[in-house]
Amino acid sequence: MRKFFTLSISLIFLAGLVGCGSQPPAPEQAGAGVEDRTPSAVSTAPVTPVTVGQGDLYGIAALKDPKSPLSKRSIYFDYDSYVVKDEFKSLLDHHAKFLVKNGQMKMLIQGHADERGSREYNLALGQKRAEAVRKALILLGAKDAQLESVSLGEEKPACVDQSESCWAQNRRGDMLYSGEF
């Protein structure tokens, strides 16, 4: 009986080996695709040339275009005044439209004064000039949250000569956009 038991186990083992070997080998898998990066395989979209003055008047690029009204960033004031002159209302209108179209942009308005007057007076006058520009932009459609006004008084003059033409350059409100301050 022992022989029969050993023979049975041997046959079962042998049948298992034959059964395993009778299966056909698995087919080889195809390799992953490889992208051809030779210069001839690269395709590009046609490029349309852009000329100065063409394009969006109120796009971000207009801020750096010297032919755009947005490249002008200073509003000048009369002596001892913070009233925005009529000659700058068109410029403020362009900047307000830009701010409306580009709601993510912020503007810092810096108010300046010439060196005549006390330091305290010039700081107060610079603040009033910055506020005058800010209020004009809001009336033209810009959001209050986009605008901040500060006074630099006489601290950052554009011109240091002691003449009326030089002082006139220092009586201003400068508009700076996000990334410029």
Structural domains in the chain, sorted by start: 73-177 (3.30.1330.60)
pLDDT for the residue 4: 55
Q: Is residue 126 within 8 Å of residue 84, measured between CB atoms? A: no
Residues of the chain falling short of pLDDT 50: 50-53
Task: Give how far Cα 46 sits from Cα of 28, 43, 49, 50, Å.
Answer: 43, 10, 10, 13
Q: What is the pLDDT of residue 53?
A: 46
pLDDT of res. 56:
78
pLDDT at 50: 46
pTM for the model stands at 0.69
Q: Which residues contact 87 (CB under 8 A, 6 or more apart)?
A: none
pLDDT of 45: 60
CA separation for the pair 47, 17 (Å, rounded): 68
The count of other CB atoms within 10 Å of the CB of residue 144 is 10
Please give the full DSSP string across 135-157, using - where no structure is assigned: HHHHHTT--GGGEEEEEEETSS-
pLDDT of the residue at 181: 81
